[in-house]
Structure 1
Amino acid sequence: MNAQFFRDTQFGHLVRLISGRRRLQYPDEFDPALWTKSIRRAEQTPKTTRRDEAQAAEVAANPNNQEFDRFKELESRDQANIQDLNINHTIENGEDVFLVDWYDMDDSENPHSWPSSWKLLVAFQICLLNFAFYIASSIYVPGEASIMQDFKVGETVATLGLSLFTVGYGLGPMLWSPMSEMPRVGRNDIYFFAFLAFVLLQLPTGFAVNMPMFLIFRFLTGFLGSPALATGGGTLADMYAPAHLAYGICIWGSFGILGPVNGPILGGFVAQAKDWRWTIWVFTWLCSFTVVMIFFLLPETSAANILYRRAKRLRQATGDDRLKSQSEIDAAHHTWRDHLVVLGRAFTLTFSEPIVFALDLYSALLYGIFFTWFESFPLVFGDIYGFNLGEQGLVFLGILVGGLITVPLYLLWVKRSIVPRFSKPDFKPEMVLPPTFFGSAALPICLFWYGWSARENVHWIVPVIGSGSFTISIVTLFFPVFNYLGISYPSTSASIFAGSALFRASFGATFPLFVSLTLR
């Protein structure tokens, strides 16, 4: 791994700031002649000899000599040669504009051109962010009895610790995801600074002195730590072609399921040995490690942001204000109202596109049922079968095992049935949806199995197997829907996933509450 990978990380930005941009420089900072290459069409770049390239580099590297002045004079005077040079030239607001694009089809700064090892490292960090944050939601559940005792509150109020956190991470992506699609902002800053704030605010959460203080900070941490839940899908789309994105979305979604499932397993033993505060500290350590990792190893993946910053550097190096990225050209006439429209894109797409609304609603129903396990398992396996807190957490292994069986089978279907179709002209996004038929049938079967077998005269393994079959619905409903939305809305995938996260979180927050109210 070379300096190029670190250059766009938070660590790289800090090094460049401290060194006055003398360390971890970009190619255009080494060689100012690259500005002419960046504005040519990659597929139409005219052939040049090594001698020509050497002369151009020598001239551009010495901006104070006469040859440079002559070069600039000829360039500005002979506008008729612009078309001959195949330069991306246009007229914007009555002025000449040169479009800054990738240097060529294999531009090393283009995320689609990165080596597979880089892409895998970035994808792993996005999955780890997803897992670390989601485990923070459910690891608290086994500690509800302890918090009821400490703060003298009822079970419904204690359940708000889960529900408000879920509401927070439902609302968060509605802001963070559209912001990540703004070229001036990009994805990296949002990931790092929002998640850093999430980790720091665990201190007042864990040291809360009363229930209102605890609930306020649970909501705030849910809001601040949520970018990876929706923007993660956009990051994967930044790097991978649709054929490979189908695998990435599935694996990324799997980590989003592993988090809530593993939370009660770990939290059950922690809460039994210590108290609810230690459930906070355990996932804070994991999230702190994740923050350190993304500080050093997570680069920017937004092509719009990369090209925006490239155009800005080229303008500073050449003094030519005509060099602009496509996003700057598009935003030339934008007002504050237009920026607010972009920030509200997640709401607009969710509620104005009927297919998006319908799929989000169905996914939300599934997610709400998923969160009822957190309240149902203590009732069934604690009250009926007499399991302690640690053993109640182990019951979630049924869902985990079900996922370990179902996910590979789904990926095999993607490999054999979906990936070969991507290159065909008749491919349609709806082709990824057939598994949802199995998921819609498996859901009621799972619920009846679990509900009718949870009794004293039936062995506890039977309802565990019934709950484990729930992963068939998760895998065959969630993942096809995610793939469909990502393929159908590639340029706004982060905003699309944000709307889905809002629906899921809304149901995930309310279902445990009414279960607690009706069954206790």
Structure 2
Amino acid sequence: MHRVTTVSELNPNPIQGEEDDAQYQKFSEKSIYPDMDAEQIALQRTKTRATILTTLSERVNPETDDIEKHISKSPDDEPQNEEGLPTKDDGLEFQGVDPELVTWSGPDDPENPRNWSSLRKWNSCAVAAWYTLLGPFASTMLSPAVSYISEDFHNENSVLQSLMVSIFLLAWALFSPLIAPLSEMYGRRPVMNISVWFLLCFNIGCALAQNTAQMCVFRLLAGVGACAPISIGAGVIGDLFDNNDRGKAMSIYSLGPTMGPSISSLIAGFIVSNVSWRWCFWVLVIFNGVIGIYGGVCLEETYAPQLLKNKAKKLRKLTGNENLHCIYEVATGETIAGKFEANLTRPILMLLTHPMVFGLGTFMAIAYGCLYILITTFPENWGGRYGFSSGIVGLMYVTMIIGYGVGIVVTQFTADHIYYKLTEKNGGVPKPEYRMPYLFFAALCTSGGLFWYGWGAEKHMHWLFPAVGCVIFSFGLVPVFFCIQNYLIDMSPRFAASAIAAASIFRSFFGFSFPLFAPIMFRAIGYGWGSSIFAFLMIATGIPFPMFVAFYGEKLRIWANARTEKQQAKRDKKNFARLQRQQKKQADTAASNYNAKLKNEHMNSASGQTTSTASA
């Protein structure tokens, strides 16, 4: 095969000057394939692509034993993105096969998000964290204002009052699976940026709503806008950081789902007591706009396949060679409909059939549902039972913020310390199960906090007593997100997005449904037994199964992942078969054109010789 300097060595920044123009011309079609005509070039390209597709297709039909052997290796040996092609380093191995393949210049290419500078990584991590904070922040912004809104809208139905708050989370459960394929097709950055402005538009709608129906519809649509950061924010963290460095980033990212609802409720409490409930939404719109502008300027694309597609597109423009391509443009056989179908069904299947996703997802879902129970019961408890004003009721959310703040610091240090120590004892080989030990403590804290808060309110003890219970619960909630999300990413990097989406759908349904019936239940059986029921659920789901996962879960994880991998291997085999059929047609056409050209040349040559003989 004709060997030239690969296009991956190019710097796809805008060129300046004649020297740069000359440099890029080296990668034109004629420079890569000198002494070849169009038919020969087409034939060579089809052979090259057939070699790549054959190599990849042979890797997607392993036996079950081979799958389990592969899964038992370090997670860093697996594909790190949702495209999941069976090639390491985004096709770098095929540089010597295909001179027109655009990939990284090497394993240490600084343009690969995993190799970015710390400042550049943390910048994108910070934007993802702010974006993710925005959705939960918006979800409870009207919680302290529900009574004022209901009074204006003449709504006395307690379920509808709770629905105005929780319907925001229903959108996350229903629409989150649609976001992942969009981020695969267009990248993280545009999807997240557009979603923030979509959220802003319907937050404006909430501020202008005139009745309960309008408020519920606008809240649902605003929740759709908040889906993207919740669904793919953890994917941004996975794009940037490996197992060893992900802990701190995930702890910062976890601030959004946990601290966001409390901060917004704190602010809204003072707004409704001093201005108007509509200003809760106008403040939210301002905050939304500031974050949208900040993210639009500072957020970079972090999804490696999309970065390579962008690089290939830019190089095609700079070099004039329209056949430059990355591995994800020539070897991804999944159709658009197939991507949506897979991303809609795989999270549900993993939730129903993967024991790790179901077991840990159940604990996270109950914990998240309890968080929204606390938030929605604050106005009735502190305002009704303790007689606090709206502003002071809002101030009580500080208890949860304190718990989160301390929890982030302690969790990040302690959980990572345990993880590194266990990895060191295992000869430096990390395992996802090393994320679990600290989760036992989380179950004890969250359940203990609920007991403390519920019985303190039930017995009408000094307000500091139930307030401390809120601090303890919030402290324990942080490792629930930290440990479980890290485990789901480590468990199967290729299907991390689906596993997190499954857990997100599950917890969103619980966050939506718990506030609808919890206030009624609390009024019927009291705060003490109402909180105790959820505390017992936390213990039942947060200790036995995580303990089993920590000590005996490796075999179960490998078995469950092998089944998922085998199902995906069948899909990949089908997709590669489709690509190979298409490639065979192109190869046959190229070969036919080349043979026709040779035949014409032979006939012309023979005709010329006949004419020469006749003249002589």
Q: Normalised by the size of structure 1, how large is the TM-score?
A: 0.81
Whether 2:92 is the aligned partner of 1:90: answer no
Match of 1:224 in 2: 225
Q: Distance in 2 between matches of 1:335 and 1:156?
A: 40
Match of 2:25 in 1: 61
Q: Check conservation: 2:6, 2:101, Cα contact below 8 A.
A: no
Match of 1:357 in 2: 358
Match of 2:408 in 1: 407
Change (3 A) 1:301 1:216: same
Cα deviation for residue 481 of structure 1 reads 0.6
Q: Distance in 2 between matches of 1:359 and 1:67?
A: 56
More divergent stretch after superposition (424-433 vs 148-157):
424-433
Change (3 A) 1:339 1:449: closer
Q: Distance in 1 between matches of 2:179 and 2:120?
A: 24
TM alignment of 1:412-451, pairs within 5 A: 412-419=413-420, 424-451=427-454
Q: Which letter does structure 2 place at the counterpart of 1:90?
A: T
More divergent stretch after superposition (365-374 vs 443-452):
443-452
Match of 1:149 in 2: 151
Match of 1:138 in 2: 140
Aligned match for 1:499, one of 499, 502, 526: 502
Match of 1:16 in 2: none
Match of 2:8 in 1: 38
Q: Check conservation: 2:178, 2:340, Cα contact below 8 A.
A: no
Q: Distance in 1 between matches of 2:300 and 2:4?
A: 22
Deviations 1:35-56 (A, max 9, x none): 724189xxxxxxxxxxxxxx99
Deviations 1:242-277 (A, max 9, x none): 111122112111232110111111010001112221
Cα deviation for residue 425 of structure 1 reads 4.8
Gaps of 5+ in 2: 11-18, 56-96, 524-616
Cα deviation for residue 69 of structure 1 reads 7.2
Whether 2:383 is the aligned partner of 1:382: answer yes
2:301 alignment partner, SS class: coil
More divergent stretch after superposition (58-67 vs 499-508):
58-67
Deviations 1:305-328 (A, max 9, x none): 11123234445535363x432223
Match of 1:26 in 2: none
Q: Check conservation: 2:134, 2:226, Cα contact below 8 A.
A: no
Q: Check conservation: 1:172, 1:224, Cα contact below 8 A.
A: no
Q: Distance in 2 between matches of 1:118 and 1:299?
A: 9
Q: Check conservation: 2:28, 2:320, Cα contact below 8 A.
A: no
Deviations 1:483-513 (A, max 9, x none): 1011113233333222212111111111111
Aligned match for 2:178, one of 175, 178, 193: 175
Q: Which letter does structure 1 place at the counterpart of 2:464?
A: I
Cα deviation for residue 68 of structure 1 reads 7.6
Identity %: 25
Q: Which letter does structure 2 place at the counterpart of 1:482?
A: Q
Q: Check conservation: 1:349, 1:356, Cα contact below 8 A.
A: yes
Moved over 6 A (4+): 62-69, 71-74
Match of 2:311 in 1: 310
Q: Check conservation: 1:175, 1:343, Cα contact below 8 A.
A: yes
Q: Check conservation: 1:454, 1:463, Cα contact below 8 A.
A: yes
Q: Distance in 2 between matches of 1:333 and 1:472?
A: 43
Q: Distance in 2 between matches of 1:168 and 1:409?
A: 32
2:51 alignment partner, SS class: strand
Q: Distance in 1 between matches of 2:291 and 2:310?
A: 26
Q: Distance in 2 between matches of 1:338 and 1:37?
A: 29
More divergent stretch after superposition (369-378 vs 385-394):
369-378
Q: Check conservation: 1:138, 1:162, Cα contact below 8 A.
A: yes
Q: Distance in 1 between matches of 2:247 and 2:281?
A: 34
Q: Distance in 1 between matches of 2:176 and 2:168?
A: 13
Instruction: Report the count of equivalent residues.
Output: 465
Q: Which letter does structure 1 place at the counterpart of 2:232?
A: T
2:254 alignment partner, SS class: helix
Q: Distance in 1 between matches of 2:5 and 2:345?
A: 35
Q: Check conservation: 1:230, 1:495, Cα contact below 8 A.
A: no
Q: Check conservation: 1:174, 1:347, Cα contact below 8 A.
A: no
Q: Distance in 2 between matches of 1:232 and 1:67?
A: 42
RMSD: 3.3
Change (3 A) 1:113 1:454: same
TM alignment of 1:114-263, pairs within 5 A: 114-154=116-156, 155-180=158-183, 182=184, 184-263=185-264
* Structure with max Cα Rg: 2
More divergent stretch after superposition (458-467 vs 439-448):
439-448
Q: Distance in 1 between matches of 2:23 and 2:160?
A: 72
Change (3 A) 1:63 1:34: closer
Q: Distance in 2 between matches of 1:313 and 1:197?
A: 29
Q: Check conservation: 1:191, 1:227, Cα contact below 8 A.
A: yes
Deviations 1:203-236 (A, max 9, x none): 2221112111111010011012221113111001
Change (3 A) 1:439 1:66: closer
Cα deviation for residue 395 of structure 1 reads 1.3
1:201 alignment partner, SS class: helix
Change (3 A) 1:513 1:107: same
Q: Check conservation: 2:177, 2:343, Cα contact below 8 A.
A: no
More divergent stretch after superposition (336-345 vs 260-269):
336-345
Deviations 1:339-365 (A, max 9, x none): 522454333333332211111111101
Change (3 A) 1:243 1:163: same
Change (3 A) 1:167 1:37: same
Change (3 A) 1:146 1:310: same
Q: Which letter does structure 2 place at the counterpart of 1:106?
A: D
Deviations 1:49-103 (A, max 9, x none): xxxxxx99956537899978747679x78x99xxxxxx99934489x85543101
Q: Normalised by the size of structure 2, how large is the TM-score?
A: 0.69
Match of 1:475 in 2: 478
Match of 1:284 in 2: 285
Change (3 A) 1:66 1:190: closer
Change (3 A) 1:313 1:344: farther
Q: Distance in 2 between matches of 1:263 and 1:186?
A: 30
Match of 1:4 in 2: none
The structure richer in helix per residue is 2
Match of 1:297 in 2: 298
Match of 1:49 in 2: none
Q: Check conservation: 1:384, 1:455, Cα contact below 8 A.
A: no
Gaps of 5+ in 1: 1-32, 41-54, 81-86
Q: Which letter does structure 1 place at the counterpart of 2:474?
A: T
2:108 alignment partner, SS class: coil
Q: Check conservation: 2:142, 2:165, Cα contact below 8 A.
A: yes
